[in-house]
Amino acid sequence: MKHLFLFSVLITCALNSFSQKKKSRPLPPPVPESKMVLPSQDTLSLTEYSSPLLFQWEMNADTALKSGTVFKELIKLKAGETEVNSFYSTEPVTLKKVKAGTTSEAKIPKMITGINYYDASISKGIVTLAERGRTVLSLKVVYDKNKQVRYLKNIKNGALYRPIPSDPPPVAAPRQYDK
């Protein structure tokens, strides 16, 4: 009996020692706003009244195309409606590959430009072109190390749309007033 009593006292003390509450540490002070790091935002944005951003994809291969095949696309990204120009021929065409340092131009006798207008939005590095709520084209924005747009990549087929310089809008000449 003595041993049972001694054994129960030891177990009770052992269980008591495990169930003791530990001291909680105080919460650290909040980080001052001046030292907060905000998540980086996309440098590609669509603003009203700005000149459109131009991106071009062009097929560069030694290949024969049947009539109606698109071989060049030009995207004019801007706030509001974005314009996509698709170039194709009404006759079969053979394209020659353009190598670095050489310039060759394919002679296309009857070239047609198809123009489509889409609503554009940019979210989380993806440019989405939609028509009547239906996504037509999704392009991933690829940046270089300076956070400048390097190219847009078509998510479906992997086509690369490279930025091309846009012409500045024409400025009216100053008026001459007669006195």
Looking up residue 139, the CATH number of its domain turns out to be 2.40.128
Looking at the domain assignment, is residue 45 inside a domain? no
| Structural domain contains residue 90 | yes
Rounded-to-integer distance, Cα 117 and Cα 56, Å = 16
With bands split at pLDDT 50, 70 and 90, how would you rate the model's confidence at 178? low
- Owning domain of residue 152: 53-164
Domain-embedded: residue 123: yes
**pTM for the model:** 0.62
**Which residue from 90, 93, 86, 101 is spatially nearest to 137, judged by alpha carbons?**
86
SS3 category, 137: strand
pLDDT top residue among 45 and 81: 81
